[in-house]
Amino acid sequence: MKILVCITHVPDTTSRINFIDNNTKFDTAGVQFIIGPYDDYALARAIELKESSGATVTVLHVGPADSEPTIRKALAIGADDAIRVNTEPTDSFFVASQIAEHAKGFDLVLMGRESIDFNGGVVHAMVGELLGIPSVSPVMKLDIEGSKAKMAREIEGGKEYVEANLPLVAGCQEPIAEWKIPNMRGIMSARTKPLKVVESKAADGQARTTKFELPPPKKPVQMISADNVAELVSKLKGEAKVL
Amino acid sequence: MKTLVFIEHADGKVKKTSLEAVAYAKALGGDVVALALGSIDGGALGETGKYGATRILHAADKKLDHPVIQVYTSVIQQAMQQEGADNLVLANTSLGTPVASKVAIRTGASFASNVMELPNTSSGFLVKRSIYTGKAFAWVEMKSAKKVIAIKKNAAELKEAGAAVSPTPFSPALDDKDFNTKVLSEEKASTAISLPEANIVVSGGRGLKGPEHWGILEELATTLGAATGCSKPVSDMGWRPHHEHVGQTGVKVAPQLYIAIGISGAIQHLAGVNSSKCIVVINKDADAPFFKAADYGIVGDAFDVVPKLTSALKAAK
Ligand SMILES: Cc1cc2nc3c(=O)[nH]c(=O)nc-3n(C[C@H](O)[C@H](O)[C@H](O)COP(=O)(O)OP(=O)(O)OC[C@H]3O[C@@H](n4cnc5c(N)ncnc54)[C@H](O)[C@@H]3O)c2cc1C
Ligand SMILES: Nc1ncnc2c1ncn2[C@@H]1O[C@H](COP(=O)(O)O)[C@@H](O)[C@H]1O
């Protein structure tokens, strides 16, 4: 079985977000980059399937060269090889078009349910559409049985068990697998694993980001004594008007 | 101009965010046609008319009761075609958003998800999206004439503007090939108040020390008519079900009031609550980071403060 895992290269979840150039560019100063947390779940499940059934795992990232340490980390965690599509992503459709170009021939395409920078929540569905194969998200459990995948999908207030034929695309989230940390041997071998850089194919994104904005600063907190909870109730009613 | 709105429903009722989608579509101008799939009472569906739908299509085929992305995409596309709709607006959900993205590809429309407010149309068509899990926003230009927009909760104000409309049956062609995922079974707590839709959320963290202590939190939630949530470690340890976990890697909530009890306020938790209108934090540690993100804070032991708060709320009713 051949598995493709699509990973994002995103600011660490504790990062402060800032923009430069008159709010048109993300400020990378002092920011640590990581594999997207949901993509990390997808990768962890792929490695488990590799260990249990001898699948091969390829990671794919669409983005410029500064993402290579993140891609190497995925190789250190256990992926066999990697592809980087060398381009600056513009919108979800553009990214999905690049992924679809390379995803043919894989039995399983695993992604995160959502990227934590763009928060589109759609690249998996778009790739499914472009390839004409099923897409399922958010997937919290995934097992392969012959030519089928059995999955649990999170729905509001619970879960739904679904089944689909391979090949398919799944947008993953916890608890599909435990995040994996690379070990020393993994880190050493990752240096020599193949990382193929390919150029992007033309695809016209229909949407374009023109400007970024930060939320307004928050008002300072009002502290209320634990002996006077009635005051909280009256403030929630009268001042905040939320009760 | 004509806009189709895809209506989601649960437990026999139209979801509030779908009504907001109708209000959003109405505010765009032009005609609004609503479309619902699967079993729902015609009267309940007709309420959609009050928020601006002048026509409601209902594809009531039982085969549509369990959503299959491919099938829903095809049905929505057929409805858009039949009605001659230019745009599609729907609620940003784990079902609606993927479906919308596929419709956008098929119709060559511009697509934006996570949209927070009505567009700015002073030059072009610009929408404000939430990015970096609510830590920032992006203004996105939608270039095509056709547009597909997935809106977040509170993107449009709900005002009753019209009268209920009785739904028109809609019988799309259903292709067996599109049923490419099969629902085997479902586990659902149908009585619970929906967390992403709730107006008030009461959440507990590791500070509550164990699942056996959730009673005080549930009593507070019941008193407020609130949904219950939790922090990630709480669901990781199995104290609470996974779908209650709020934050960066969990549910993103946008209530009027979020009450956090025994939660430290790690940045990943805050990412799921930063769209709340008002945040109350109860924590015994005065230095807990959550206080910095709160509107009101109480330093105290949850086991003491929470029951007192519940009584005060009951007394104030
Ligand atoms: C990539 C990534 C993603 C993550 N995603 C999420 C996410 O989506 N959601 C999430 O919640 N976390 C997430 N986390 C975890 C997050 O970093 C924190 O570890 C977690 O939020 C802490 O949970 P907590 O506040 O319940 O526990 P703790 O940090 O242990 O805090 C417990 C709090 O309870 C207080 N307390 C103790 N006893 C009492 C008492 N009797 N009365 C009142 N207060 C009391 C303590 O003072 C303390 O502040 C993520 C982490 C990573 C690395
Ligand atoms: N630039 C990218 N390169 C590779 N995979 C991506 C990229 N952007 C998004 N993805 C994948 O698509 C998923 C959903 O992303 P999104 O639709 O942006 O929320 C992510 O979790 C990744 O698995």
- Given the structure tokens 């149309």, which residue do they identify? B121
The conformation of residue B246, written as its DSSP 8-state character, comes to B
Q: Is residue B25 pLDDT above 90, yes or no?
A: yes
Q: What pLDDT does residue A158 have?
A: 85
Residues of chain B within CATH 3.40.50.620 domain(s) are 2-179
Q: What pLDDT does residue A156 have?
A: 81
Question: Using 50, 70 and 90 to split pLDDT, how confident is the model at A172?
Answer: very high
Length in residues, chain B: 317
Percent of chain A with pLDDT over 90: 91
B5 forms beta bridges with B34, B89
- Buried-state track B105-135, b at ≥16 Cβ within 10 A, e below 16: bebebbbbbbbbebbeeeeebbbbbbbbbbb
Set out the domains of chain A in order of their start, with CATH numbers. 2-215 (3.40.50.620)
Whether chain A has a CB inside 8 Å of the CB on B99: the answer is yes
Question: Using 50, 70 and 90 to split pLDDT, how confident is the model at B278?
Answer: very high
Q: Are A163 and B309 within 8 A, CB to CB?
A: no
Task: Name the residue facing B101 among A92, A118, A212 (closest C-beta).
Answer: A92
Residues with CB under 6 A from ligand 1: A 13, 37; B 205-207, 231-234, 245-250, 262-264, 266, 268-269, 272, 283-285, 288, 301-303
CB B267 within 8 Å of CB B134 = no
Q: What pLDDT does residue B211 have?
A: 97
| Residue B70 C-alpha, separation from nearest chain A C-alpha, in angstroms | 7
Q: What pLDDT does residue A206 have?
A: 77
Strands laid side by side in the B200-204 sheet: A222-224, B296-299, B278-283, B257-261, B200-204, B227-230
Residues of chain B within CATH 3.40.50.1220 domain(s) are 200-316
Pick B200-316's CATH classification: 3.40.50.1220, 3.10.580.10, 3.30.360.10, 3.30.420.40.
3.40.50.1220
- Given the structure tokens 């992305």, which residue do they identify? B69
Q: What pLDDT does residue A235 have?
A: 97
| Residue A89 C-alpha, separation from nearest chain B C-alpha, in angstroms | 14
- Alpha-carbon distance of A195 to A198, in angstroms, equals 10
Q: What pLDDT does residue B191 have?
A: 63
Among chain B residues, the shortest Cα distance to A25 is held by: B138
Per-window interface: B 130-149 vs A, CB < 8 A: 130-144
Average pLDDT over all residues of chain A: 95
Q: What pLDDT does residue B142 have?
A: 95
The one-letter amino acid code at B279 reads I
| Residue A192 C-alpha, separation from nearest chain B C-alpha, in angstroms | 32
For residue B98, give every residue at least 6 positions away whose Cβ sits within 8 Å of its Cβ, in sequence order, or none: A121, A122, A124, A125, A135, A137, A171, B69
Q: Is residue A178 pLDDT above 80, yes or no?
A: yes
Best mutation target, B68, B295, B299, B308, to test chain A (most A CBs within 10 A): B295
For residue B65, give every residue at least 6 positions away whose Cβ sits within 8 Å of its Cβ, in sequence order, or none: B38, B39
Neighbours of B182 (CB within 10 A): 15
The CB of A62 under 6 Å from ligand 2? The reply is: yes
Q: What pLDDT does residue B57 have?
A: 98
All residues of chain B having their beta carbon less than 8 Å from the beta carbon of residue A19 are 136
Please tell me the number of Cα atoms within 13 Å of B299 on its side-chain side. 10
Average pLDDT estimate for B112-126: 95
Best mutation target, A206, A211, A223, A237, to test chain B (most B CBs within 10 A): A206
Maximum alpha-carbon separation in chain A: 65
Task: Give the pair of three-digit tokens for residue B287.
Answer: 């230095």
Q: Is residue A105 pLDDT above 70, yes or no?
A: yes
Cis peptide before A138 (omega within 30 of 0): yes
Question: Using 50, 70 and 90 to split pLDDT, how confident is the model at B193?
Answer: confident
Q: Are B257 and A236 within 8 A, CB to CB?
A: yes
Q: What torsion do the CA atoms of A43, A47, A53, A54 make, to the nearest 10 degrees?
A: 110
Q: Is residue B190 pLDDT above 90, yes or no?
A: no
Question: Using 50, 70 and 90 to split pLDDT, how confident is the model at B161?
Answer: confident
CB A103 within 8 Å of CB A123 = no
B189 forms beta bridges with none
- Alpha-carbon distance of A205 to B317, in angstroms, equals 53
Task: Give the pair of three-digit tokens for residue A94.
Answer: 């553009």
Among chain A residues, the shortest Cα distance to B142 is held by: A207
Average pLDDT estimate for B100-112: 96
Average pLDDT estimate for A95-108: 97
Residue nearest atom 23 of ligand 2, based on CA coordinates: A111
Residue B47: which H helix or E strand, with range? Answer: none
Instruction: Classify residue B19 as left (phi > 0), alpha (psi -120 to 50) or beta.
Output: alpha
- How is chain A split among helix, strand and coil, in percent rounded to 5? 30, 35, 40
Q: Is residue B317 pLDDT above 90, yes or no?
A: no
Among chain B residues, the shortest Cα distance to A24 is held by: B138
Question: Using 50, 70 and 90 to split pLDDT, how confident is the model at A121?
Answer: very high
Task: Name the residue facing B196 among A156, A209, A229 (closest C-beta).
Answer: A156
Q: What pLDDT does residue B189 have?
A: 75
Among chain A residues, the shortest Cα distance to B137 is held by: A213
- Alpha-carbon distance of B43 to B238, in angstroms, equals 40
Separation of CA A142 and ligand 2 centre (Å): 19
- Given the structure tokens 């996105």, which residue do they identify? B140
Average pLDDT estimate for A224-235: 96
Give the residue among B112, B197, B125 at the shortest CA–CA distance from B151: B112
Roughly how many angstroms between the first and final C-alpha of chain A, as a whole number?
A: 55
Q: What pLDDT does residue A165 have?
A: 97
- Taking only Cα atoms into account, the Rg of chain A, rounded to an integer number of angstroms, comes to 21
All residues of chain A having their beta carbon less than 8 Å from the beta carbon of residue B108 are 206
Best mutation target, B77, B87, B132, to test chain A (most A CBs within 10 A): B132
Pick B2-179's CATH classification: 3.40.1010.10, 3.40.50.2300, 3.40.190.10, 3.40.50.620.
3.40.50.620
Whether chain B has a CB inside 8 Å of the CB on A29: the answer is no
Per-window interface: B 11-30 vs A, CB < 8 A: none
Predicted structure pTM score:
0.94
All residues of chain B having their beta carbon less than 8 Å from the beta carbon of residue A238 are none
Average pLDDT over all residues of chain B: 95
ipTM of the complex: 0.93
All residues of chain A having their beta carbon less than 8 Å from the beta carbon of residue B297 are 221-224
- Alpha-carbon distance of B58 to A185, in angstroms, equals 58
Q: A109-113, B187-191, B220-224: lowest mean pLDDT where?
A: B187-191
Q: Is residue A187 pLDDT above 70, yes or no?
A: yes
